[in-house]
Structure 1
Amino acid sequence: MNRIYLFFLLLICLPTYSLRSQHIGLLKGQVLDSLSQQPLAYAHVKIKDKAIGVPTNSEGKFSLPITKQMRDDTLIVSLMGYISTKVAVNELLAKDFYTFLLKQNTFVLEEVMVETKNVESIIKEVGRRLKDTFPSKPYEFEGCYRNAYQEFDTYIKGVEVAFNGFDGNFHQRSGHSVTTLKKKESPDFRKFRWRQAQGNLPWHSLWRFRRQYHYFFTNKQYRDYDCSLEDITYLEGEKVYKLNFVLKDKSKKITTSWAFIRVRDYAILEIGGKTDMVNPEKFHLADTLFMAYTGGSVQVKFADFKGKMYPSYSNTQYLHQVYNGQLLRQGNFTMNEELIIHQINTEGIHKTKNSFEQSQSQISAGLPVDTLFWKQYTKPVETLLSRKIEHDLAWQSKALAITDKTQANYYIPHADSIAVTSIAVDKLREDFTLFQNSLEQAHPSLYRYTSKQKLDSLFLSTYQSLTSPLSEIDFYRLLTPIIAQIRCGHTGSLPSKKYEDNYTAKKLFLPIQTTYTGGKLYVVNIYDTQKTIPAGNEILSINGQPVEAIIQQILPHLTTDGFSFTSKNKQLAKNFVKLYSLYIAHADTFEILSRNKKGYTDTLYIPAISYQTYLAWNTSGKKENTLSFPDAQTALLKVTSFTDTDTAPFKDWTEDIFDQLRKRKVKNLIIDLRGNEGGRDDYGMYLLSFLVKSPFTYQLSLQAATNHYSFLSHTNQHSSFNTVMEQIVKKDADGNFMLSKTHPTLQLTLPSAKNLFTGKLFFLIDGETFSAAADFAALARELKLGVFIGEETAGAAEGNTSNGEILLTLPNSAIRVGIPLFRITNAISFSHATGRGVIPDYQTEYTIDDYLNVVDKDLEFVKTLILKSYK
């Protein structure tokens, strides 16, 4: 199942001014953190001394209409916890887009020495000074609230609210009054009534601001905890106590909490905690389903405004699991609740709750229509859990229950496979046995490059090594070398979805873009505005481990067709950050020893980033197939993928390309297959038909290991998949399971006569030319169509193993293994070493300077060859 993750665009606008004035422009911009360059959501952009302003959206962007009357005004950009910036409006009108960089008030935590005090005395002092450090006079505030239910990464219900608030006395438990300006809810795909307490809206979170410290610090609730003290610097170099609390009674839940207390006035700067339920609280959803509350976390921040501490941010997360009648977990989801207060007003406010509410009702009535207030709200998608619950609660909802066939298409792992941090030996062996048996039953090229004796020995030794419980990732690291020994680039594996969810959002990954060339690892870019490690520096060690040793640890886990070395080098160059995290370690900070071009070395300590951040920073735009003309007689055909694109079907695009070549009378055609990881084999065959003069055969056979699989209940395939396979795959006289000869790539192909290209051909290939692209290169080599330049292809010349891949999910670890079902034999006869790709006629090597300067040696060499042919 291809899961599509659609996230809500939580972009809230709060205009408080009339749009009737004559506009002279629209001021657009973005507010960023000056250090991290990350967008600052809900920063306030307003005109000084006027009730005109808007908050930034979740990307830190804003749009503010400017009138003639505002030309001489001052724009203020502010966010609690940051230093405000002021700019004259007339200076901004000349630009189409303006970026504001706000400096934080906070600094990196450092260990310092502070006067040692008794923990209980600090707590008592905090309680005694609450009325001094927090406001007792009325104040108003503006904010944004949102809560969202998620199954894994997919939102299944959400609420967002823009609000104004009034607080007559912050020390009263129920002193807040909140007016909802706008509220928007998404559908709930779970199809059952959520019996959450009414009012789970802004005021509910605001009440938590009071509850967190009033109960704890004034009612001596802290005596139920074991307390300890740390000394750190936290805010602008000020001395801060950090108090840690662990609940003494762990019979029902394990609670750890903490509080940052400013030394000079005992103000609470930040509080938070985490709870894991030992005995989950359960309640029924239906006869066959119940839900368990398994834990949660909370974080509350306060900011200093005019000498008093005001709430600025709150985040609460509730963790739930859904079980069926047999106590097997069907899924898990979270409810995440966030509240951001972006503006505090203590002057010229309404003195009473009633006058405030009357004022707010007038503001609400005058707000623009929804199309101006809310951005487009993306509808969430159905999920596996929502389908399951919809099926079990069909009696309650009007939706149709899903059919058995639909339900069987998706395998739901056993609860233990996701929930536990270590897996018992019997469960490990159960998973491993399924892993081995599935490969032996389904993989048609299991012994194509590695003998059965060697693989059997590897299977046996690994199984026997399973004598103690392992974490999922340690078990995963035992499986990947076996997969690598099959030497099939289409046989791959992934950790469980749970593992990926847990780690990709955490700041544990190397913040560096790298390349690997000449046996060395180089820095291409670094996620650091200061660029502390210059591009081009060679990385010598990471966290004290030499790069050579790291590479040797990673290599046995990498999969490739046959014995192609260029493929592994490309994987190291392209995916080093992910490979390091999978097979070496995660870390909060990385000690990196690098060497510059002059031979000088330097050691730096660089904070980690999340993998999500890395991908957003490192991912280039979508690659398209393109045609260009380096000169009047030469065409460059860049084929990035043998697939249909958004602009045109591949075959239509190909016909158009060769029609253009004919009309332009092009004499030289360069076909660039570098970075092409494949696609449809019949599309490669179709492109080839425009290059040959005689009929040709593309592939000799597609052979399966069997046409009936016993383990489909653990895969993404329905049992009807066997019926399909039995129809298209038949035993031949030798007992081999062969795909029907009606398959398009097994047919004799006649060349295209109208737009046949008859000029000179040049092929650019590299260690990422794989699958269908490598097959295309092999047939072009077989038919002696032109000259090859670059690197050996990643795909073996004799053919790959692919098509009809099925995804196996191991029931206890939830590790995923992709198994291809057809062994392809290309129609080639040229001499080559078994398991090797197409070897170029002219091999190029790149240096780090070539990468940094974006030098295309392959293309430049082809141009040289073309020039020589005309001399």
Structure 2
Amino acid sequence: MKKLIFLFILFTTIVKLEAQQSETLTAEQMQEDINYYFDFLKNNHPNLYLKYSPAQYDSLQQETIKKCTLPLTHQAFNKVLFDLNCYFDGHTRIQSNYLWGNNKSFYFPYFRILNDSLFLNNEIIQTVNNMDMKEVIRDIEKGASSWENHPNFNETRVNLYTSLYLSTFYNIKPPYYLQLKNTQTNKIYVDTIAERKPTADFNLPFQFKFYPEESIAILFYNSCALSEEAQKGLKKALDIAFKKIKKLKIKYLFIDLRLNEGGSIMNNELIFNYLKSKKYVSTLHVKANIHTIPQAIAELQERNRLYLEKNKSNFWKTFKMKRLIKKLNKKIPSVLSTGIDVLKEKIPANRRGFKEKVFVIQGRKTFSAAVKFTLATKQQQVGLIVGEEGGGPVCFSADGTCYDLPNSKISFSCPGTYAWQTPEIPTKNGFLQPDIKYDVFGKTLEIEDYKKIIQLSKALEEQ
């Protein structure tokens, strides 16, 4: 009976989605949604004009409206808006609520994008089922990429969407017939890629692995987006694992962030509690949209009032809060005019944490809160960064929330703050550089890889 109920709910959900996709939106409804989106970002985004000027966004807004002068389905309108993503930072995105319908993702081999060409090993992909792939990729890049992301991260997103785009917008499904050109011989030939299940990324949020005989432990930290239950699981796992690390006298700890695309930086702190670190003092600058400041101040003042009311019988708590409120009130005029709050940040040293060598492995998928993990590793001198450049810069707009457009109900995300610290940690074009460059993308690292990284670190110390 439960199975029948589940199937009925699934069927009605699919029917409802299909109905919404086929429903048309009027030009007036779409114009209202487009204006709502751009106005919302202007009034809420903390650092919207980092790349493009207000005039450029106004022009983009009008161009988008011109594409919607006739009624469109939810799916077609979602595609128009999705194509805007390349013009915004990595945390400001139109979602794909109505894009895919019943189409599913098929296996397609990972390809590199270099100088507008698609490389599959030593071959250039020219067409797929007689469709020019350069045209397809240019289409995908509009929605999948962001000007802020590392090109390698954008490449992974393009690969993620390729089969969905082929099936949804080009009616191309497996088997795929690829016209390839060999870069060494210039020979052109056709190869077939039959449908098969992709090798899934390891999707547990965290897991430990031990090589006691080599004195090596690995923490696969695959996500900073943890539920309350998962947080409790991580705390428990860390406690058990570090007791085992101590018992086994582990000398080398690897923390693998290659699959970690972010979440909450608060979960990072659970791990840093177990790692030896040095004191770090900095000045933290937090920028918000000036239109949001008055409400934020009012909410903070109300929380402070409730705290004082609750603790009015406690002299010491009341005294400390009143002193803090006095300091905050002095800053209000400056914050109201600039939208920037300046704070002194002092992170104490952790002398009781793991005292041996720590290696943090980053890759092109390392993004958002996971990048903040690598940044804190450098700031607090916890260990060495290994691998390649991460997927996002160390400074970015964050603390995002999802919203819905009023008519189409298409979802979009908008960050709330933009933060940076001084003194700055050295970067290249905003991206944190590895101390030890090592080929880690798409590889299952074996014990020999870890041993080689250890040897490279010793050579680095001797320089």
Give the shorter-chain TM-score range. Answer: 0.7 to 0.9
Q: Which of 767, 783, 806 lines up with 2:364 in the alignment? A: 767
Kindly state the Cα deviation for residue 429 of structure 1 after the two structures are TM-superposed: 0.9
Q: Distance in 2 between matches of 1:448 and 1:457?
A: 16
Q: Provide the C-alpha distance between the structure 2 equivalents of 1:863 and 1:573, rounded to a whole number of angstroms.
A: 31
* 2:437 aligned with 1:856: no
**Equivalent position amino acid for 1:638 in 2:** F
**Offset at 1:780?**
1.6
> Which structure 2 residues correspond to residues 107-506 of structure 1 after superposition, within 5 A?
148=8, 152-153=12-13, 418=20, 421-487=23-89, 489-496=90-97, 500=100, 503-504=101-102
Q: Could you tell me whether the CA contact under 8 Å between 1:496 and 1:816 is conserved in 2?
A: yes
Query: Which of 421, 433, 438 is residue 839 of structure 1 equivalent to?
Result: 433
Q: Over aligned residue pairs, what C-alpha RMSD do you find?
A: 4.3
Find the counterpart in structure 2 of residue 663 from structure 1: 247
AA aligned opposite 2:252: N
2:207, 2:221 → 1: CA distance? 7
Q: Residues 740 and 657 of structure 1: is their aligned pair in 2 closer, same or farther, counting only changes over 3 Å?
A: farther
1:777: which partner in 2? 374
In 2, Cα distance between the equivalents of 1:721 and 1:451? Answer: 26
Which of 669, 672, 675 is 2:259 aligned to?
Answer: 675
Cα distance 1:647–1:564, how it changes in 2: closer, same or farther (>3 A)?
A: closer
Deviations 1:544-576 (A, max 9, x none): 223233222221222447241121112123342
Superposed displacement of residue 685, structure 1:
3.3
**What CA deviation, in whole Å up to 9, does each residue of 1:729-765 have, x standing for no partner?**
9955142456897xxxx853323333x2222222211
1:486-505 Cα deviation digits (max 9, x unpaired) = 22x222222445x65xx22x
Q: CA separation of 1:8/1:706 partners in 2, compared to 1, >3 Å: closer, same or farther? A: farther
* Cα distance, 1:831–1:753 mapped onto 2, change above 3 Å: closer
**CA shift digits 1:286-318 (9 cap, x unpaired):** xxxxxxxxxxxxxxxxxxxxxxxxxxxxxxxxx
> Is 1:634 the counterpart of 2:216 in the alignment?
yes
Instruction: State the SS of the aligned residue for 2:418.
Output: strand
Q: Relative to 1, partners in 2 of residues 1:795 and 1:758: Cα closer, same or farther, differing over 3 Å? A: same
Is 1:9 matched up with 2:39? no
SS of the equivalent of 1:447 reads helix
Shift of 1:683: 2.3
Do the aligned partners of residues 838 and 773 (structure 1) sit closer, same or farther apart at CA in structure 2, a change above 3 Å counting?
Answer: same
Compute the displacement of 1:817 (Å).
Answer: 1.0
1:677–1:769 Cα contact (<8 Å) kept: yes
Number of aligned pairs? 423
Q: TM-score, normalised by structure 2?
A: 0.75
| C-alpha contact (below 8 Å) 2:258/2:366 kept by paired residues | yes
Q: Deviations over 1:135-181 (max 9, x none)?
A: xxxxxxxxxxx983668529xxxxxxxxxxxxxxxxxxxxxxxxxxx
Question: What secondary structure is seen at the aligned counterpart in 1 of 2:260?
Answer: coil
Q: Which residue of the partner structure matches residue 235 of structure 1? A: none
Match of 2:415 among 820, 826, 832: 820
CA contact (8 A) 2:203 2:222 kept: no
- Contact 1:774 1:837 survives alignment (8 Å): no
SS of 1:837's equivalent?
coil
Question: For 2:50, what is the secondary structure of its paired residue?
Answer: coil
Q: Distance in 2 between matches of 1:646 and 1:566?
A: 29
* Shift in alpha-carbon separation, 1:814–1:721, aligned structure 2, 3 A: farther
Could you tell me how far 1:810 is from its partner in structure 2? 2.0
Q: SS of 2:48's equivalent?
A: coil
The structure with the greater share of residues assigned to strand is: 1
The letter for the 2-side match of 1:768 is K
In the alignment, the residues of structure 1 paired with residue 21 and residue 140 of structure 2 have an alpha-carbon distance, to the nearest angstrom, of 28
Find the counterpart in structure 2 of residue 404 from structure 1. Answer: none
- Among 658, 662, 687, the residue aligned to 2:271: 687
In structure 2, the partner of 1:170 is none
Hey, what's the Cα distance between the residues in 1 that align with 2:61 and 2:96?
A: 19
- Distance in 2, matches of 1:565 and 1:578, equals 21
| Displacement of 1:677 | 1.3
Q: Which of 133, 139, 148 pairs up with 1:547?
A: 133
User: Which residue pairs with 2:204 in the alignment?
Assistant: 623
Task: For residue 786 of structure 1, report the CA deviation from its aligned partner.
Answer: 3.2
Letter in 2 for 1:659: K
Change (3 A) 1:802 1:149: same
TM alignment of 1:590-601, pairs within 5 A: 592-595=177-180, 601=189
Aligned: 1:809 with 2:404: yes
Q: Which has the higher contact order (CA 8 A, sep 6+)?
A: 2
Deviation at 1:579, TM superposition (A): 4.4
Instruction: Report which of the two structures shows the higher radius of gyration computed on alpha carbons.
Output: 1
Structure 1 Cα separation of the partners of residues 335 and 120 of structure 2: 52
* CA distance, structure 2, for counterparts of residue 766 and residue 465 of structure 1: 38
Q: Which amino acid aligns with 2:397?
A: T
Distance 1:455 1:844, change over 3 A: farther
Q: Which amino acid aligns with 1:840?
A: P
Conserved? CA contact 1:694–1:750, under 8 Å: yes
Aligned to 2:309: none
SS at match of 1:795: coil
> C-alpha displacement at 1:521, in angstroms?
5.8
Residue in structure 2 matching 1:830, options 425, 435, 439: 425
More helix by share: 2
> What's the counterpart of residue 171 of structure 2?
586
Equivalent position of 1:749 in the other structure = 347
- Write out per-residue CA displacement over residues 112-155 of structure 1, whole angstroms, 9 at most, x where no aligned residue: xxxxxxxxxxxxxxxxxxxxxxxxxxxxxxxxxx983668529x
Q: Please state how far the C-alpha of 1:774 moved relative to its aligned partner.
A: 0.4
State how far apart, in whole Å, the 2-side matches of 1:662 and 1:147 are. 50
Counterpart in the other structure of 1:306: none
After TM superposition, the structure 1 = structure 2 runs for residues 713-728 of structure 1, keeping only pairs within 5 Å, are 724=299, 727=302
Shift of 1:433: 0.7
Letter in 2 for 1:684: N
- The 2-side partners of 1:785 and 1:830 are apart by 14
* Cα gap change, 1:540 to 1:483, in 2 (>3 Å): closer
Give the Cα–Cα distance (whole angstroms) in 1 for the partners of residues 27 and 208 of structure 2.
56
Distance between the aligned counterparts of 1:655 and 1:722, measured in 2? 39
Pairwise CA distance, 1:595: 4.5
Corresponding residue for residue 288 of structure 1: none
Q: CA deviation at 1:855?
A: 4.8
